[in-house]
């Protein structure tokens, strides 16, 4: 039996989630049910090497009274009273969810939506606006396009959950995929829209990107209602308003209209006889131009002037248009966070109104993804390396192109048979922005043995736990104070701080957006795994959505490769698998069963072939080399770690034997190298998927193990894949990295060069100590974690209490709190090292002579 708890509060909408299982405990084909009889649909998302279920996914439909928790047990599931059904007929697809019917027909998305046989919505479609010049140039012409669906695929067909994928293009560019999620008995459809940028940045400018739906309007104008959500409530209006008139229609009439009810008659003839003289408000717009403000306006019709409505700050991005006989609720998740966005209602006074959710507002300047500088004459590798020395930007002509980057948005459409109450609308807006999720406890996750080395927090190390919390809360605060929001930016964090200007280095080359550098994604996900905190989950979720889409190329020359940190997310010429690595996506995928995240990992199925296109070491390579399909240079740290994560995920998700063979084969080859991981790199034969094991050199990089290598190696060793020598090769690397030069020379004949980031690497020594039972190595790990050597957060053991706090800054652009000693590199690696050291060698902490007692210290910024 497994207890399922809500991440936040119980919700009444359909929900999907994942559950892990210990190796060998659940056989493939096992059925699951919920003990209270709630209908559930289940499927397998990953398997252990023995074929048993590693991760299962589950779905339940909406419920008027959801349970506060559920018990998942083995057994035949109950069937829903109104199962979702997917039926192809006459070139279209009909999906029914009880009283609701959705007809999908190419070339649009949804041809019609009906409630109890009455059509409420028709022609749900994607629309876009394209300009041939930026707004600051004269002559830019806009062209509106309706997207075309080329393919419809049914991925799940019930009985509780159905998923339909639609693929096509916005005109002749911008490939997209849309998934529609239907649940048994549900009035809503969840829409996940992903598009890939494939334009010419010098002549293609996206001026608008939206989802439109036509709503049938059957009621009298005064029984047609408009609702647009604000920060604390809704704009509550009617197409023909009966409040505030010179002549009073009566209190009951006014109250009924404001509540969205049916005004059947107007008893006051002074009003009833003059209805034709009351203006009908045809069009409404809510425009979120920034994270700090939206404007509202309305008009009586095209060609008439707009009237300004009192505006506000942060709109939830939800609206309703319709009447007492039915209508449509519509919205965009993270609306204000993904600005510029917009909600439009048009033609509400006519027979068919149109609601449009704009993912890029037409009111904003056209999207401009041109590179941010002219190259500054950096035409050769030597000049580019000089630029790297001063601004930390790895520039190369042509490599800063946004071609292939993507963005995913989550939207919702909900049909009604009458105007919903204010309470219902508020609930729908809240569910849009914080969708319900069922989870298992951190203890249950740990028991299943997934995701390698981690443990639960304990009261024995409150000082470290307080620091972990301090770091997380600091980034939450920085995102808000620094306004790390916007279409392309939301979900990422900055790399390095500028204490002179009291700002992050948003405009300095490679010090700006972080792009997963040194694994903040992993830090956040491991902190969630061990704490189960909803705020940590939501922060990590937004980062996963961003880094997997915006920081990775999904089309073209660099398909499957990510971009290193830069002023623009796609700007760096360092295109590497260390950024696109599946290890940054898989936790979210398994916890949520999110298909889009699965797509991103599937893109990496043959990612090793990308090394034919781009040599990551091309600018600094000391040897003569050109990519050879039979001898591809692969770093055994950042490169192989990402390849291993991709192969492992592919194998456990799909049973891909090619991926398994490459994973196990290269593990064997690393073990066969004389110096194992210390060799630094090896040559991969694409035709066999195997390394040349003749290399006999030592080359260690300080970055090798900081992009998920310790985490993936821990998982692989736990899997016990029968690869003799692999664990020893990894333990040798872990053990030797932080030993003294004299000790390294005694074993290797030479000291290791380039040793740095010692605090981050303390977790490697801890891993070796735990596996070998070496107490001296454990004490070394804690010393390296606590004692300053110039590249870590602690600075020094005597002053660490004073330094771990924020300082208010006066006179900056905005009121801010800074902790100038924190960089994202340091924060991420401190957290990962702390989490693993506490898991592996907690009993040796006080043996090192550098750690304080477990309960003696707490940051003044962190509550108990």
Separation CA 329–CA 317 (nearest Å): 11
Q: Which ranges in 577-725 belong to alpha helices (H)?
A: 577-580, 586-592, 595-602, 638-654, 657-672, 709-719
What stretches of 513-655 show up as alpha helix (H) in DSSP? 520-531, 534-549, 577-580, 586-592, 595-602, 638-654
DSSP-derived 3-state class of residue 183 = strand
- What torsion, rounded to 10 degrees, do the Cα atoms 750, 751, 753, 759 define? 150
> CA–CA separation, 492 vs 546, rounded Å?
6
By C-alpha distance, which of 277, 250, 273, 262 is closest to 222? 262
The residue assigned the tokens 């809704």 is 234
pLDDT at 795: 55
Mention every residue, 6+ apart, whose C-beta is less than 8 A from residue 218: 323, 325, 326
Q: What is the pLDDT of residue 811?
A: 86
Kindly report the backbone phi and psi dihedral angles of residue 126, in degrees, each rounded to the nearest multiple of 5, phi listed first.
-95, 135
pLDDT at 297: 98
Place of tokens 């697809």: 93
Partners of 563 in the β-ladder: 575
State how far the Cα of 641 lies from the Cα of 532, in Å rounded to an integer. Answer: 27
The partner residues of 286 in beta bridges, in order of sequence, read 296, 343
Q: Is the peptide bond before 340 cis (omega within 30 degrees of 0)?
A: yes
Which residue in 627, 620, 712 sits closest to 666, CA to CA? 712
Q: DSSP state, 277?
A: G
Q: Do the bridges between strand 161-170 and strand 173-183 make them parallel or antiparallel, or are there none, so unpaired?
A: antiparallel
Considering only CA atoms, which of 550, 558, 545, 553 is closest in space to residue 584? 545
Q: Output the pLDDT for position 754.
A: 87
Cβ-Cβ contacts under 8 Å for 105 (sequence gap 6 or more): 91, 92, 93, 111
164 in Cβ contact with 104 (< 8 Å): yes
d(CA 419, CA 324): 5
Q: Single out the residue of 715, 696, 713, 695 nearest to residue 704, CA to CA.
A: 713
Distance CA 755, CA 245 (A): 78
Among candidates 14, 365, 311, which has minimal Cα distance to 156? 14
Dump strand ranges (E) for 386-531: 406-416, 438-439, 497-498, 503-504
Burial of 808 (0-12, 13-18, 19+ CB in 10 A): exposed
The pTM (predicted TM-score) of the whole model is 0.96
Q: How high is the mean pLDDT in each 10-residue block of the chain (864 residues)?
A: 96 97 97 98 98 98 96 98 94 96 96 98 98 80 93 97 98 96 98 97 96 98 98 97 97 97 96 97 98 98 96 97 98 98 98 98 96 96 96 97 98 98 97 97 98 96 95 98 98 97 97 98 98 98 98 97 98 97 98 98 98 95 93 97 98 98 98 98 98 97 97 98 98 97 97 94 98 97 83 55 82 91 95 98 82 38 34
CA 460 to mean position of chain CA atoms: 33
- DSSP conformational letter for 679: G
Phi, psi of 812 (to 5 degrees): -75, 170
Are 601 and 646 in contact, with CB atoms under 8 Å apart?
Answer: yes
Distance CA 514, CA 510 (A): 8
Q: What is the pLDDT of residue 860?
A: 32
Instruction: Please give the Cα distance from 413 to 498 (Å, whole number).
Output: 44
Q: What is the C-alpha to C-alpha distance for residues 142 and 131, in angstroms, rounded to an integer? A: 5
From CA 799, how far away is CA 635, in angstroms rounded?
Answer: 38
Residue 91 CB neighbour total at 10 angstroms: 7
- Other CB atoms within a 10 A radius of the CB of residue 42 amount to 17
Q: Give pLDDT, residue 855.
A: 35
Tokens of 801: 């209490």
Provide the pLDDT for residue 847.
Answer: 79
> E strands along 268-360, which residues?
283-290, 293-299, 307-312, 318-323, 326-332, 341-346, 352-360
Residue ranges per domain, the chain?
Answer: 2-74, 216-359, 451-848
Token pair for 115: 């409630």
> Under CATH, which number does the domain 451-848 receive?
1.50.10
Predicted pLDDT at 846: 86
Distance CA 117, CA 120 (A): 9
* Two tokens, residue 275: 């209805």
In this structure, what are the phi and psi dihedrals at residue 227, rounded to the nearest 5 degrees? Answer: -135, 125
Are 110 and 104 in contact by the 8 Å Cβ rule? The answer is: yes
């Amino acid at each position: 039996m497994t207890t399922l708890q809500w991440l936040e509060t119980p919700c009444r909408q359909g929900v999907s989630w994942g559950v892990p299982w210990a190796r060998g405990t659940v056989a493939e084909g096992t059925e699951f049910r919920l003990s209270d009889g709630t209908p559930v649909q289940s499927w397998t998302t990953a398997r252990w090497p023995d074929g048993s279920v590693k991760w299962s996914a589950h779905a339940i439909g909406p419920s008027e009274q959801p349970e506060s928790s559920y018990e998942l047990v083995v057994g035949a599931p109950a069937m829903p009273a109104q199962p979702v059904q997917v039926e192809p007929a006459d070139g279209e697809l009909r999906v029914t969810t009880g009283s609701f019917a959705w007809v999908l027909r190419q070339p649009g998305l949804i041809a019609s939506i009906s409630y109890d046989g009455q059509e409420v919505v028709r022609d749900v479609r994607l629309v876009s606006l394209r300009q041939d010049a930026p707004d600051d140039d004269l002559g830019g012409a806009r062209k509106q396009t309706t997207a075309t669906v080329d393919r419809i695929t049914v991925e799940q067909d019930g009985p509780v959950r159905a998923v339909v994928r639609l693929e096509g293009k916005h005109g002749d560019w911008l490939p997209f995929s849309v998934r529609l999620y239907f649940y048994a008995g549900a009035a809503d459809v969840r829409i996940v829209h992903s598009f890939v940028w494939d334009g010419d940045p010098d002549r293609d400018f996206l001026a608008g990107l939206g989802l439109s739906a036509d709503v049938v309007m059957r009621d009298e104008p005064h029984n047609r209602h408009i609702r647009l959500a604000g920060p604390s409530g809704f704009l509550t209006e009617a197409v023909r308003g009966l409040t505030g008139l010179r002549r009073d229609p009566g209190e009951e009439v006014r109250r009924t209209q404001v509540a969205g009810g049916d005004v059947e008659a107007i008893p006051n003839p002074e009003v009833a006889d003059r209805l034709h003289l009351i203006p009908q408000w045809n069009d409404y717009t809510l425009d979120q131009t920034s994270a700090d403000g939206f404007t509202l306006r309305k008009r009586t019709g095209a060609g008439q002037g707009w009237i300004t409505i009192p505006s506000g700050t942060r709109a939830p991005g939800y609206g309703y248009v319709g009447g007492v006989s039915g209508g449509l609720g519509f919205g965009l998740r993270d609306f204000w966070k993904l600005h510029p966005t917009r909600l439009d209602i048009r033609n509400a006074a006519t027979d068919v109104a149109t609601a449009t959710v704009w993912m890029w507002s037409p009111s904003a300047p056209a999207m401009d993804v041109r590179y941010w500088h002219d190259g500054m004459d950096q035409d050769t590798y030597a000049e580019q390396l000089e630029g790297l020395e001063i601004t930390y930007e790895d520039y190369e002509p042509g490599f800063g192109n946004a071609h292939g980057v993507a963005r995913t948005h989550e939207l919702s459409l909900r049909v009604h048979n009458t105007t919903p109450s204010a309470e219902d609308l508020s609930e729908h807006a809240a569910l849009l922005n914080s969708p319900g999720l069922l989870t298992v406890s951190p203890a249950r996750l740990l028991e299943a043995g997934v995701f390698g080395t981690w443990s639960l927090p304990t009261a024995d190390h409150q000082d470290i736990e307080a620091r972990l919390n301090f770091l997380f809360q600091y980034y939450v605060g920085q995102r808000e104070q620094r306004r790390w929001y916007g279409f392309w930016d939301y979900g990422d964090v900055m790399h390095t701080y500028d204490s002179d200007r009291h700002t992050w280095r948003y405009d300095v080359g490679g010090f700006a957006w972080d792009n997963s550098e040194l694994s903040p994604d992993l830090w956040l996900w491991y902190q969630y795994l061990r704490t189960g905190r909803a705020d940590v989950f939501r922060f990590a979720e937004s980062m996963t959505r961003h880094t997997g889409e915006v920081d990775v190329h999904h089309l073209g020359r660099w398909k499957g490769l990510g971009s290193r940190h830069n002023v623009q997310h796609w700007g760096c010429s360092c295109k590497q698998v260390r950024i696109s690595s599946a290890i940054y996506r898989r936790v979210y995928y398994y916890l949520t069963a999110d298909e889009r995240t699965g797509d991103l990992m599937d893109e990496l199925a043959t990612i090793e072939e990308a090394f034919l296109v781009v040599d990551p070491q091309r600018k600094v390579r000391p040897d003569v080399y050109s990519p050879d399909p039979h001898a591809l240079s692969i770093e055994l740290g950042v490169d192989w770690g990402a390849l291993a994560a991709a192969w492992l995920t592919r194998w456990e998700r799909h049973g891909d034997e090619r991926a398994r063979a490459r994973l196990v084969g290269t593990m064997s080859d690393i073990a066969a190298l004389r110096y194992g991981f210390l060799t630094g790199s090896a040559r991969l034969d694409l035709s066999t998927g195997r390394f040349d094991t003749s290399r006999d050199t030592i080359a260690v990089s300080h970055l090798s193990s900081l992009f998920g290598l310790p985490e993936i190696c821990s998982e692989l060793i736990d899997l016990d894949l029968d690869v003799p020598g692999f664990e020893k090769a990894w333990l040798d690397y872990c053990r030797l990295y932080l030993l003294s030069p004299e000790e390294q020379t005694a074993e290797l004949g030479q000291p290791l060069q380039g040793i740095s980031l010692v605090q981050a690497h303390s977790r490697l020594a801890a891993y070796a100590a735990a596996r070998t039972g070496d107490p001296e190595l454990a004490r070394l790990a804690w010393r390296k974690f606590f004692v300053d050597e110039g590249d870590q957060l602690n600075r020094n053991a005597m002053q660490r209490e004073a330094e771990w706090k924020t300082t208010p800054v006066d006179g900056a652009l905005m009121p801010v709190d800074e902790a100038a000693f924190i960089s994202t590199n340091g924060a991420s690696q401190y957290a990962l090292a702390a989490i693993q050291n506490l898991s592996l060698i907690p009993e040796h902490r006080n043996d090192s002579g550098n750690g304080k007692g477990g309960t003696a210290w707490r940051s003044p910024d962190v509550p108990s």
